[in-house]
Structure 1
């Protein structure tokens, strides 16, 4: 009994005049201007719609309010859509006009190849408002004739925040993938979404990201779609109420109170363009690999020719030099020869006017900077008798073996900086190779894991703003959005491997010609042969390719430093290699070099997130301190150390020198070079403080690449100044490297994306493929920069080949 009374009471209270509906048989494509009944009385418009027809409804009201809005419900056979006027988007944006496309009948269940039922069904529009006074409105329901897009045909559309638009497209079976290209002349922010066929369609700003893939755009956008993922889909266009997501500066500042806007309309075009099939990718990929294999063949021909030339040069020059050393060594080891005879013998053989080196008390032959091997050190030798009077003074041998005295000479020779045992030095430089392999392994594995996780996150979330691709030339394959940007890094890996092979061949050739002839030749002639840094350079080039490919799995500001870090390493290793050529004893240890590089990589990471005045102050101090330390090392050739004894050394220097000698530099050549280099580096620091570039990691590449180029030019200039000839192949490598770098930099500057901007702004720079309908500007940059690095570091393989049979005490240090 109580339940019956309760039901009766609910029926009476829930039966106001709103159930008294005014039903109107309406016609499509006809505008109805009317007003609502007071107190929520329904006005119902009934339309007859076929299942194959797509209906769009337009509704406008000038005098509805947010307190008593005009309510509209659109009922279909299997879907219901409700709106209210004014429609509120975000916080303070209100619109008096709304236009929505109703979900077509049967799209959830009917496959693309099955015809639709042409029987008509009812569609109703129910309008009501709980205002005591009538609210005027305008209503129109009309058919969409061009709801489905056609491949290759461009369609012009317009949309606003309250009037979203969506279309349908079915990928033909003959295609593997297509790209949806959207272009506009204005910069109004809009979201483009790709959604599965079904109802409801999420086409408002507050729900468009709930389904499918979506990206923001202003002037240009593109979405590549694989048929294996979606063969039939909706393309939804939703205009944002403001531009804060697409731009760093909001073009519309939110007002403190409600703002009614109906003029924010975006005009755009949409085009479906077919992408190459998966099998068509084989041609551009094969051409790239084939071009690199041609370089392999040319390198093999070049190495074979150089090997023949070296053997011929050994016959012409090497034998005479080695036989001279043999004769000299045998005379030094004979105890019956006097010191004067030894000096005369050396002068006769080598033409040197410099006094001879004396054998040490252990019997080790130390000829003009010769580095005794461990076997030589243990050999017994004659005991030399030295008078007590002579013992009170330093002999010439004492001066030469004292590295502090040797390095303080104004005119240093390579023999003065190659006194340490060769095996000890070579082991030191091979630490660069093993340390870099270890660093690369521990660095690359988490990177690959992380970017693959990001790629999976993009696929699951559908948020295409997480990765900064060139969507106009993104070629999907194996579930990767831009496989072309990954494959184009193969040049780094293959050319880095080729470089390692050329270094190994050079090492074996040296052993066959020079090292196999006489043990002392290694330590007497030419620039000391150490290949550890060259191997490290080859590995660094390969790691650059691997990490660059990892970055391009999902390029963004969060992982840009992955491959940039190895760019820093390549630049630093190049400078260290040039310095090591004539400073083998005093080059930096591997752990020190990589420790400083770790500092710069840390600063690069901080520059991405804290690009403000305090960061630039800290960076400037760190950079200047490193610059000062490098300058001191280069100027004093390892004589000064920044340790606890620095104060006593400075005090001793100040007391033992005159005022004039403190002002006038003792090593004028080094001073001029350091002055120019430090001025350029200080200019770089001041430029950074003034500009504060958003892309700090790229900006930090300038000192590494710039200093490497400056040091190489200085080295070549000093060689020519000291009348050291450059080999023709060295000049050719230099010219080809410069040409490749010029071409590569053009493609790098003409970027097709920029993670320092918002995703929508970056897409404005997106460009179609320029090579084989597969590679874009950045892909060509990958190939050309890999070739440029290979050419640049191939210079090191022949830079000092002209000094192979020149005595080290005749090779100037600079």
Structure 2
């Protein structure tokens, strides 16, 4: 009872003694007034709301005196909503820095009406706790062009304390639109948001991310909106200017000297244009998918035509030849003589391996079944000759080597399964987070050409990766056909297959085709939500493809001494490990770049030594002493040239290239370490491939028509592909807002952008490159192996 008795006096002390004044107010009239703790003013407005016409109402307030301790409170009471704000408005930035704003402008939300016409009332209450009078200005006006029109540009001005939003209604027959926001001003940083028609509208820097879809922007922003996500068939386009520019990559400003220090925000007004355009319809989706399928299915058709033409020519030549497909007696005699004189060596028959080993399908280790009869000293004699032939390095049993190289395929298939499953799970989670939170800063799309399908935000970027999978599968089928033909030739003891040409081991080719398919799958996974944390998904199998191609080139002339699958994949794992470290720690970290450059140079030197001496050297405590001895005897004492001139030229050029790349990385320290590492791999592959072609022609060999056409075609396609790759439509090296400055419209069928064309062309170019490796030495299929040079 005592508390109840004291309650009226408490209320009276708090505010019942205030002098409340209500005024009938009108639109587009500026009211100058003063408010104190002893008086409260209520402005009453009314306006007619039509169901078929939407008008915005905007409240603008200016406080003419500085009253930070006791700001003025404005409360707007309207149907189904209450909006309140204080003036001066204190907005917080990074590190809790405070920015005061004395001028505010807020648009009132428009509650829906079911009547054809209805008069609605709203009130603006003005109060303060300051005992001193505070002058203010109040103006309520109608917003012209509050509803955005399709394909019609609308310009307006916004600031942190004066956000803007407008309404858009889906026209009949349009299910998807693209909201494009542009500005000629990079800064101040802004946020564009798409929200459902409801009250309240979240239009301040500290709450704009609460609902709907939103993204930061500097000059460009674009959000694709689908009718199914908005039951009212309409939505608000909200634009908010941020208090600071850090989110858009702007400079960090100074720290406040005191926690309660207020910082002058300066002029942060931004002029913005907004255009809402219809997106593509289902017919464009169908055309895009048919176009994509048609391109790559045409390669299947072309392959069938080439195979048919080749077989037709073969049978035509077979019918017109008296000797058929067997070797002449002179060739057989030469073969027998050459074999008998080949260092007294007679290749062991397949039966000597043992039936259990021949029929085993398990992995076979080379060291367990080394079928060379000579000891290490004999290997040194053979492999260190000045002029080597393929027969010198193709002495191990074919069955054992074939199984050794099949391990490449089975290992990469195992790696692909264990790598791809968590990647798919992760990107599905990323896409789910984007769809649930509406935060479009998570993924770095080309928003001006990102076509959604179902839960996917950029279906076109995924579809364009189909070429890697389809052409990888086609390459596997071509290799399988060659493998079957070669095995049949071995079964019937065809001398060409047994004694002529480059030894045919297809395990690396199977691994290359699998890697190409996995590149398509993982590139598609990356493009589900491309960002800083998952970029290695897109590059991991690129490293593998480059490494496998170099291994295959080396294997062609060095089948006995090529690296095992375990060693090769361990080295590739180390490359991927450094790629991850570079992405995480490499940006501007001098220590990391020094360590990486040293490792890069040392690895280049070790590999050069391995290649120069064909593996016949030892890395132990006496290696430095032997290096000094070689330099003294060969360079100082008698100044003799290198024993293996061709290999030395290749390795010197390779070291120059790699040392230059290491120096570039150490000096420039590029932000995109993954691409830098990929550039190292590609430069080494191109250098080795050019060396192989030059040495092949120098050795008197020729390039047949099919591989020559593939080389020219692939070179042209690679040129166009790289052009589209370097267009740079987005980049996770910058902030999401800066990345969107590079966004561009679709350029192919209104469905594919420049990067999609890169996917098309690069998949075709990789397929062509694989065909070059597969067919490049077809001219040697009838040449004895002791007449094919090693280089």
Alignment TM-score > 0.5, same fold: yes
**CA shift for structure 1 position 599:** 0.8
The alignment partner of 1:529 has SS state of coil
> Residue 95 of structure 1 contacts residue 262 of structure 1 at CA under 8 Å; is this kept in 2?
no
> Residue 111 of structure 2 contacts residue 198 of structure 2 at CA under 8 Å; is this kept in 1?
no
> Residue 35 of structure 1 contacts residue 136 of structure 1 at CA under 8 Å; is this kept in 2?
yes
The alignment partner of 2:179 has SS state of strand
**One of 34, 40, 43 as aligned partner of 2:41:** 43
**One of 420, 434, 437 as aligned partner of 2:413:** 437
Which residue matches 1:549?
524
> What runs of 5+ residues in structure 1 fail to find an aligned partner?
330-344, 347-351, 361-365, 380-396
Which residue matches 2:110?
104
Which residue matches 1:25?
24
Which residue matches 1:752?
729
**CA shift for structure 1 position 461:** 1.2
Which residue matches 2:245?
243
How far apart in 2 are the matches of 1:206 and 1:698?
37
How far apart in 1 are the matches of 2:432 and 2:666?
39
> Residue 67 of structure 2 contacts residue 134 of structure 2 at CA under 8 Å; is this kept in 1?
no
Which residue matches 1:263?
267
Bigger radius of gyration: 1
Which residue matches 1:154?
153
> Residue 327 of structure 2 contacts residue 495 of structure 2 at CA under 8 Å; is this kept in 1?
no
The alignment partner of 2:37 has SS state of helix
The alignment partner of 2:499 has SS state of coil
Q: Closer, same or farther in 2 for the Cα pair 1:31/1:15, shift >3 Å?
A: closer
Which residue matches 1:385?
none
How far apart in 1 are the matches of 2:585 and 2:88?
42
How far apart in 2 are the matches of 1:590 and 1:770?
43
Determine if the alignment matches structure 1 residue 583 to structure 2 residue 558: yes
How far apart in 2 are the matches of 1:657 and 1:74?
93
**CA shift for structure 1 position 523:** 3.9
Q: Which digits, 9 at most, give the CA deviation of each residue in 1:715-744, with x for residues without a partner?
A: 000111111111121111111111001100
**1:394-433 mapped onto 2 (5 Å cutoff):** 402-433=378-409
> Residue 21 of structure 2 contacts residue 40 of structure 2 at CA under 8 Å; is this kept in 1?
yes
How far apart in 1 are the matches of 2:601 and 2:401?
30
**1:514-529 mapped onto 2 (5 Å cutoff):** 514-518=489-493, 521-529=496-504
How far apart in 1 are the matches of 2:625 and 2:15?
101
Q: Closer, same or farther in 2 for the Cα pair 1:64/1:655, shift >3 Å?
A: closer
How far apart in 2 are the matches of 1:406 and 1:168?
82
Which residue matches 1:448?
424
Which residue matches 2:91?
89
How far apart in 2 are the matches of 1:318 and 1:413?
28
**CA shift for structure 1 position 403:** 2.0
Which residue matches 2:278?
274
How far apart in 2 are the matches of 1:358 and 1:25?
114
Determine if the alignment matches structure 1 residue 605 to structure 2 residue 605: no
**CA shift for structure 1 position 521:** 4.2
> Residue 183 of structure 2 contacts residue 272 of structure 2 at CA under 8 Å; is this kept in 1?
yes
Which residue matches 1:298?
302
**1:325-724 mapped onto 2 (5 Å cutoff):** 346=337, 356-357=341-342, 366=346, 371-375=347-351, 402-512=378-488, 514-518=489-493, 521-611=496-586, 612-643=589-620, 646=623, 659-660=636-637, 664-724=641-701
How far apart in 2 are the matches of 1:622 and 1:375?
46
How far apart in 1 are the matches of 2:683 and 2:444?
28
> Residue 450 of structure 2 contacts residue 460 of structure 2 at CA under 8 Å; is this kept in 1?
yes
How far apart in 2 are the matches of 1:77 and 1:64?
32
> Residue 403 of structure 1 contacts residue 416 of structure 1 at CA under 8 Å; is this kept in 2?
no
**CA shift for structure 1 position 284:** 1.2
**CA shift for structure 1 position 61:** 1.3
**CA shift for structure 1 position 313:** 7.0
Alignment length (residue pairs): 756
How far apart in 1 are the matches of 2:668 and 2:632?
44
**CA shift for structure 1 position 401:** 9.7
Q: Closer, same or farther in 2 for the Cα pair 1:139/1:427, shift >3 Å?
A: same
Q: Closer, same or farther in 2 for the Cα pair 1:652/1:700, shift >3 Å?
A: closer
Q: Which digits, 9 at most, give the CA deviation of each residue in 1:198-223, with x for residues without a partner?
A: 11111111111111111000000000
How far apart in 1 are the matches of 2:266 and 2:585?
39
The alignment partner of 2:271 has SS state of strand
Q: Closer, same or farther in 2 for the Cα pair 1:265/1:623, shift >3 Å?
A: same
The alignment partner of 1:402 has SS state of helix
How far apart in 1 are the matches of 2:409 and 2:570?
15
How far apart in 2 are the matches of 1:791 and 1:661?
48
Q: Closer, same or farther in 2 for the Cα pair 1:308/1:373, shift >3 Å?
A: farther
How far apart in 2 are the matches of 1:117 and 1:13?
47
Which residue matches 1:165?
164
> Residue 178 of structure 2 contacts residue 278 of structure 2 at CA under 8 Å; is this kept in 1?
yes
Which residue matches 2:68?
66
Which residue matches 1:221?
221
> Residue 390 of structure 2 contacts residue 557 of structure 2 at CA under 8 Å; is this kept in 1?
yes
The alignment partner of 2:248 has SS state of coil
**CA shift for structure 1 position 429:** 0.9
**CA shift for structure 1 position 248:** 5.2
> Residue 703 of structure 2 contacts residue 779 of structure 2 at CA under 8 Å; is this kept in 1?
yes
How far apart in 2 are the matches of 1:482 and 1:154?
25
How far apart in 2 are the matches of 1:57 and 1:768?
37
**CA shift for structure 1 position 520:** 5.3
Q: Closer, same or farther in 2 for the Cα pair 1:33/1:658, shift >3 Å?
A: closer
Q: Closer, same or farther in 2 for the Cα pair 1:316/1:670, shift >3 Å?
A: farther
**One of 738, 742, 746 as aligned partner of 1:769:** 746
What RMSD, in angstroms, separates the aligned Cα atoms of the two structures?
Answer: 2.5
Which residue matches 1:392?
none
**CA shift for structure 1 position 378:** 7.8
Q: Closer, same or farther in 2 for the Cα pair 1:414/1:309, shift >3 Å?
A: farther
> Residue 29 of structure 1 contacts residue 141 of structure 1 at CA under 8 Å; is this kept in 2?
yes
How far apart in 1 are the matches of 2:267 and 2:744?
31
Which residue matches 2:359?
none
Which residue matches 2:364?
none
> Residue 61 of structure 2 contacts residue 105 of structure 2 at CA under 8 Å; is this kept in 1?
yes
Q: Which digits, 9 at most, give the CA deviation of each residue in 1:135-178, with x for residues without a partner?
A: 12111100113111122111111100000011111223522311
Q: Closer, same or farther in 2 for the Cα pair 1:580/1:566, shift >3 Å?
A: same
Q: Closer, same or farther in 2 for the Cα pair 1:477/1:661, shift >3 Å?
A: farther
> Residue 470 of structure 1 contacts residue 753 of structure 1 at CA under 8 Å; is this kept in 2?
yes
> Residue 191 of structure 1 contacts residue 215 of structure 1 at CA under 8 Å; is this kept in 2?
yes
The alignment partner of 2:155 has SS state of strand
**TM-score, normalisation: structure 2:** 0.91
> Residue 575 of structure 1 contacts residue 711 of structure 1 at CA under 8 Å; is this kept in 2?
yes
The alignment partner of 2:762 has SS state of helix
Q: Closer, same or farther in 2 for the Cα pair 1:210/1:283, shift >3 Å?
A: same
> Residue 97 of structure 1 contacts residue 262 of structure 1 at CA under 8 Å; is this kept in 2?
no
Q: Closer, same or farther in 2 for the Cα pair 1:136/1:3, shift >3 Å?
A: closer
How far apart in 1 are the matches of 2:348 and 2:218?
70
Moved more, 78-87 or 316-325: 316-325
> Residue 512 of structure 2 contacts residue 548 of structure 2 at CA under 8 Å; is this kept in 1?
yes
**CA shift for structure 1 position 480:** 0.6
How far apart in 2 are the matches of 1:319 and 1:645?
55
Q: Closer, same or farther in 2 for the Cα pair 1:809/1:119, shift >3 Å?
A: same
Q: Closer, same or farther in 2 for the Cα pair 1:60/1:376, shift >3 Å?
A: same
Q: Which digits, 9 at most, give the CA deviation of each residue in 1:48-84, with x for residues without a partner?
A: 1233443100001131321121221111122111111
**CA shift for structure 1 position 522:** 3.3
> Residue 203 of structure 1 contacts residue 236 of structure 1 at CA under 8 Å; is this kept in 2?
yes
The alignment partner of 1:191 has SS state of strand
Q: Closer, same or farther in 2 for the Cα pair 1:15/1:681, shift >3 Å?
A: closer
